[in-house]
Amino acid sequence: MIGQTVVAVTFGALAISPMMADANGRTPASNHISFLRDIPSLELPSILVILFIWGIVAGFSNGVNLTDGLDGLAAGASMMVFGAYTLVNIWQRNQVCQGELAGANCYDVRDPLDLAIVAAAVTGACFGFLWWNASPAAIFMGDTGSLALGGGLAGLAVLPRTELLLVILGGIFVVETLSVQLRQRLEIVKA
d(CA 50, CA 115): 20
Q: Kindly state the percentage of the chain with pLDDT values over 90.
A: 42
Cβ atoms of 40 and 108 within 8 Å: the answer is no
Mean pLDDT over the full length of the chain: 87
pLDDT tens digit sequence for 7-33: 999 999 999 998 888 887 888 888 888
Mean pLDDT of 63-91: 87
Cβ atoms of 82 and 152 within 8 Å: the answer is yes
pTM: 0.87
Neighbours of 52 (CB within 10 A): 17
* pLDDT at position 101: 52
Taking each helix axis from N to C end, the angle separating 46-67 and 73-94, rounded to the nearest 10 degrees, works out to 140
Cβ atoms of 40 and 32 within 8 Å: the answer is yes
DSSP 66-126: HH--GGGHHHHHHHHHHHHHHHHHHHHHHS--SGGG--TT----S-HHHHHHHHHHHHHHH
With cut-offs at 50, 70 and 90, classify the pLDDT of residue 61: very high
The Cα-based distances of 72 to 65, 135, 148 in angstroms read 11, 10, 15
